[in-house]
Chain A
Amino acid sequence: MEHPARWHRDQFPHRGPHWLRNRNGHGGPLRREQADRLGGGVAAGIAAWRGFSPTTVRIVFVLATLVSAGWGVPLYVLAWLFIPMAGAESNIFSKARTDAGGIRLAVGLASLLIFVLLVAGALNGGWFISWAWPQVFSIAGLALIWRNGAEEDQATLRHLLEPLGVATDDVKPNRRSALRLVIAGALMAGGLGWLFSAHASLALLRPLGGVLLVIAAIVLALGPWWLRIARDLALERQAKARAEERVDIAARVHDSVLQTLALIQRRANDPQKVIQLARMQERELRSWLFEGRDPDEANEELTVAGGVRKIQQDVEAKYGVPVEAVTVGDCDLDDNLTALLAAAGEATVNAAKWSGASVISLFAEVEAGEVSVVVRDRGKGFDPETVPEDRKGLAESVRGRMTRRGGTATVTTAPGEGTKVTLKMPRSSLPQRGGLGGSSPRDDPGGSGGMGAPRNKRAGRA
């Protein structure tokens, strides 16, 4: 193993073969990962380094351990010792080298285990012994980690060794865990006795039954603890998700709300502009908070409701007149409905420019047979007989858009009475979306023209 300082100095010492890299890997040096750890964070670190999922790395590790008769465990402990923690500069081993007491403890524990294994091997060998030999190294390594690791490493070890503590008087044993241990012990003894008494002459079923009993004993003894580890990990993930969400919200509030408030302070002497800014911000925040919609979403105007929202935003931003929009039901746009919305947009702009009303109502209703839009203001209105030429032109263009596509446009107005423009367009047989109906995929490409720019590409068909 190279000198620990190299880990830090060298930017990319472990790029590794290309085929082992996934494009999600962070490309930096290999570090033990703090956030997603089960044990030392080695698997999580390798996963983050190479861009795999930690679960995959863990499964590979467990399989390797099974195949190599237990050698995976000391390897893992070695990695724990030699790979520095994320954010740290040196590994545990560099510290452990100078810890004479720790080395003595490690050697002592290892020799104790060697002694036990020698005795066990003399009495009765078998696969169990061959699996236990590698753990001599594991136990020595763990002792070193225990003595020299960071606080997090010690906490993890304590966590991992907790069930052993239950067996001793380390933790106050309550009745349930005592009962659990007694049953586990009885099962274990029965199972082991069965195994040892089962000689080759007997049926194969008997040793199998013994193995099952031993497994049951292990599960019973360690199950709750495993569950706790899993639960802690889940809690940690949740906390992480919450933290990320908080960051996201903070960023959003900063980008939009704080910026708008700053703008409002600078424009405090222009009430019209202040109202306009406040309304724009209110709409944006509301659509994000309560409707879960990003205001910058690109395909926003592919439905009637989206188109109505766009008209509302555009007119409010451009003319500073509030638009109260209500949409009942919703459906995808086709060419006809795009034309309807374009006409509605024009009527709304018209009202904002000429009526002098303080608010404009925009009402759209999607019904089974037709879609209707009503644009209404309480402004000064006009006498249809004596309209100036420029305004007549607008009314005509709204009507023209509608009639060319088989719709109708009615203008109700009188001087001092406000103006009401009612637009109706029959629907083609597109499925209804939103409302009480089901939803259909937004795959109709016809509606992206938006208001004010009707798409003429397919106009010849109509």
Chain B
Amino acid sequence: MSAPRVVLVDDHGLFRSGVRAELGRQVEVVGEADDVQPAIDLIGELLPDVVLLDVHLPGGGGQAVVQAVKASHPEVRFLALSASDAPEDVIAVIRAGARGYVTKTISTAELADAVRRVAAGDAVFSHRLAGFVLDAFAGGPTADVKPSFDPELDQLTSREREVLRLIAQGYTYKEIARELFISTKTVESHVSSVLRKLQLSTRHQLTRWAAERRLT
């Protein structure tokens, strides 16, 4: 497979040039943008495979970019990057349609791997995001929640929980596959299914949970 074409969206020029220098050999960085509107224009023009997107942007946050681009170009995939790790930011950008989330302290090799994974249509969860999801989906659906059109969306299967726990413990997909005696493809499909639930579930706890995490 040829190197994925990547657009970097981050308001810090220093960070962009750093990522570009590090990823240079493994992916093809075709463009950079530093704010919401320029990013939307640039992505519409270049149609990259993957957009590396900072969660915090001055002109409205990363989810604004995801929403605007998804409307016209649903095939563009987003990988969210954040320095904040604040759950409500991360959950918001994932629910807007990003295929994954990693922290900015991630190593170059892991970042390149994550970009390739997202380009191939898989989901990428950092250990922090896995922890958030486990927390947000803890317990069964409560009575005050209007269930989704598909009630399965509101709960994780025990296998999915197991996969998430291992991600939160820093396991790679390959290691998870070996630990659970399943194939890497199966691990990937579990993670994608969790991502789908995260994006489509109407559990309002997701939002409430994220807000509470910030307050306490």
Is there an interface contact between B169 and A328, defined as CB atoms closer than 8 Å? no
Is there an interface contact between A436 and B134, defined as CB atoms closer than 8 Å? no
Is there an interface contact between A436 and B169, defined as CB atoms closer than 8 Å? no
Q: In the assembly, what is the distance between CA of A359 and CA of B127, in Å? A: 13
Query: CB < 8 Å: which of B85, B139, B171 contacts A436?
Result: B139
Q: What's the nearest-Cβ distance from chain A to residue B169, in Å?
A: 4
Is there an interface contact between B134 and A324, defined as CB atoms closer than 8 Å? no
Contacts of A368 in B (CB 8 A): 139
Contacts of A367 in B (CB 8 A): 138
Is there an interface contact between B216 and A365, defined as CB atoms closer than 8 Å? no
Q: In the assembly, what is the distance between CA of A363 and CA of B165, in Å? A: 8
Q: What's the nearest-Cβ distance from chain B to residue A348, in Å?
A: 13
Closest chain A residue to B133, Cβ basis: A328
Closest chain A residue to B128, Cβ basis: A326
Q: What's the nearest-Cβ distance from chain A to residue B168, in Å?
A: 4
Instruction: Tell me, yes or no, whether A185 is within 8 Å of chain B by CB.
Output: no
Q: In the assembly, what is the distance between CA of A455 and CA of B85, in Å? A: 34
Q: What's the nearest-Cβ distance from chain A to residue B99, in Å?
A: 21
- Dominant SS among interface residues on chain B: helix
Is there an interface contact between B209 and A376, defined as CB atoms closer than 8 Å? no
Instruction: Tell me, yes or no, whether A173 is within 8 Å of chain B by CB.
Output: no
Q: What's the nearest-Cβ distance from chain B to residue A381, in Å?
A: 13
Q: In the assembly, what is the distance between CA of A172 and CA of B27, in Å? A: 67
Query: CB < 8 Å: which of A290, A365, A437 contacts B86?
Result: A290
Within 8 A of B (CB), among A268-305: 282, 286, 289-292
Contacts of A349 in B (CB 8 A): none
Closest chain B residue to A412, Cβ basis: B179
Q: In the assembly, what is the distance between CA of A328 and CA of B169, in Å? A: 11
Contacts of A324 in B (CB 8 A): 127, 170
Instruction: Tell me, yes or no, whether A431 is within 8 Å of chain B by CB.
Output: no
Instruction: Tell me, yes or no, whether B136 is within 8 Å of chain A by CB.
Output: yes
Contacts of B127 in A (CB 8 A): 324, 326, 361, 363
Is there an interface contact between A326 and B136, defined as CB atoms closer than 8 Å? no
Query: How many residues does chain B have at the interface if contact means C-beta atoms less than 8 Å apart?
Result: 26
Query: CB < 8 Å: which of B84, B128, B209 contacts A435?
Result: B209
Asked, given contacts A326-B128, A328-B131, A361-B127, whether A290 binds B168 with beta carbons under 8 Å apart, the answer is: no
Query: How many residues does chain A have at the interface if contact means C-beta atoms less than 8 Å apart?
Result: 26
Within 8 A of A (CB), among B172-216: 205, 208-209, 212-216
Asked, given contacts A292-B214, A324-B127, A326-B130, whether A436 binds B205 with beta carbons under 8 Å apart, the answer is: yes
Is there an interface contact between A374 and B169, defined as CB atoms closer than 8 Å? yes
Q: What's the nearest-Cβ distance from chain A to residue B154, in Å?
A: 12
Q: What's the nearest-Cβ distance from chain A to residue B200, in Å?
A: 19
Is there an interface contact between A363 and B168, defined as CB atoms closer than 8 Å? yes
- Chain A 350-380 interface mask (CB, 8 Å, partner B; 1/0): 0000000001010101011000001010100
Instruction: Tell me, yes or no, whether A134 is within 8 Å of chain B by CB.
Output: no
Closest chain A residue to B164, Cβ basis: A328
Is there an interface contact between A326 and B86, defined as CB atoms closer than 8 Å? no
Instruction: Tell me, yes or no, whether B135 is within 8 Å of chain A by CB.
Output: yes
Q: In the assembly, what is the distance between CA of A460 and CA of B127, in Å? A: 39
Within 8 A of B (CB), among A197-228: none
Contacts of B214 in A (CB 8 A): 290-292
Contacts of A329 in B (CB 8 A): 135, 138
Q: What's the nearest-Cβ distance from chain A to residue B124, in Å?
A: 16
Contacts of A435 in B (CB 8 A): 135, 138, 209
Is there an interface contact between A376 and B216, defined as CB atoms closer than 8 Å? no
Closest chain B residue to A372, Cβ basis: B165
Contacts of B170 in A (CB 8 A): 324, 359, 361, 363, 376, 378
The 7 tightest CB contacts between A and B, nearest first, are: A361-B170, A326-B131, A290-B86, A326-B168, A328-B134, A363-B169, A361-B169
Given known contacts A363-B169, A374-B165, what 14 new A-B pairs fall within 8 Å (CB)? A286-B85, A290-B85, A292-B215, A326-B128, A327-B131, A328-B134, A328-B138, A329-B138, A361-B127, A363-B170, A365-B134, A376-B169, A434-B212, A436-B139
Interface residues of A (CB under 8 A from B): 282, 286, 289-292, 324, 326-329, 359, 361, 363, 365, 367-368, 374, 376, 378, 420, 434-437, 439
